[in-house]
Amino acid sequence: MTEISEKEKKIPELSVVILCFQEGRRIESFVERTVEALESLAIPWEIVLVANYWDLQNDETPRVAEKISRQRSNIKAVGELKKGGMGWDARHGFREASGQFICLIDGDGQMSPEYIIPVYHQIKRGHLDVVMTYRTERGDSLFRKMNSYIYNLVFRILFPAIPARDANSKPKILTRAAYDKMRLTADDWFLDAEMLIQAVRMNMKIAEIPVTFDRCVNRKSYVKPDAVFEFIKNLLRARFNEYFTKNK
């Protein structure tokens, strides 16, 4: 596993940004599955492990991610003191990604890394800018299902032009050109919606594919009870911003 192949030395076709927050050693098996999936594509690839951490928390994830990254030249580790939530982590991962396509996925195992394969094939085959997923089956709690239902309902009402059934689902994949045009600023869960809003504003070509979302068995959800209200507040702010952007 330590020998560097010629394929690893090339500029990657695909960068996979894995959000590893507080996953610790569990991330090792997820990375192994991701590597297997990427090797099946037979393209140059890289993985960016985002293992940012909060101060004063005993989180071993940065050390685990760094250990994994030392085993392959095409795996990077990012482990910085956090100043924001999921969006802040994702944006740090995007900045480290160098591939022609960039895929974002959570590393908690609820979303199988094998789904990276169909989203990659879809964006290539359709000559698209963004491919997202929607969850047809969910192993979540009733609370999380209700949160997601309300959020996506409000999202569709406020942004009916965006073809998204499940704004926060992952993996998501976009081209390097699409990412370079975006100006992502969200530090929290709103980043997913921000990506879609900007993509539609710039008339990018978007598609969806169905996926299955498994139950998280290793930890409690990081989505807090007041998350849906935060989501809706961000959506309302974004709706006003879009209105003024179009009417300048």
- On whether the CB atoms of residues 49 and 20 are closer than 8 A, the answer is yes
Domain range annotation of the chain: 6-246
| Helices and strands, number each (H, E), in the chain | 9, 7
**245 pLDDT band (50/70/90 cuts)?**
low
227: DSSP letter: H
Query: Quick one: which H or E segment has residue 36?
Result: helix 26-41
Q: Is the pTM of this model over 0.85?
A: yes
Residue 207, CA atoms < 13 Å, CB-side half-sphere: 15
Alpha-carbon Rg for the chain, nearest whole angstrom, is: 17
75 to 8, 32, 58, 66, 233: CA distances (angstroms): 10, 11, 24, 9, 36
Angle of CA points 88, 29, 27, to nearest 5°? 25
SS3 195: helix
Query: Quick one: which H or E segment has residue 173?
Result: strand 172-175
- On whether the CB atoms of residues 190 and 234 are closer than 8 A, the answer is yes
Q: What is the pLDDT of residues 161-220, one digit of tens each?
A: 998 999 999 999 999 999 999 999 999 989 999 999 999 999 999 999 999 987 666 656
Residues 6+ apart with CB under 8 A from 59: 22, 24, 53
The mean pLDDT of the chain is: 89
Q: What is the pLDDT of residues 69-97, one digit of tens each?
A: 999 999 999 999 999 999 999 999 999 99
φ and ψ of 32, to 5 deg = -60, -45
Domain 6-246 has CATH 3.90.550.10: yes
Which residue reads 């969850």 in tokens?
A: 135
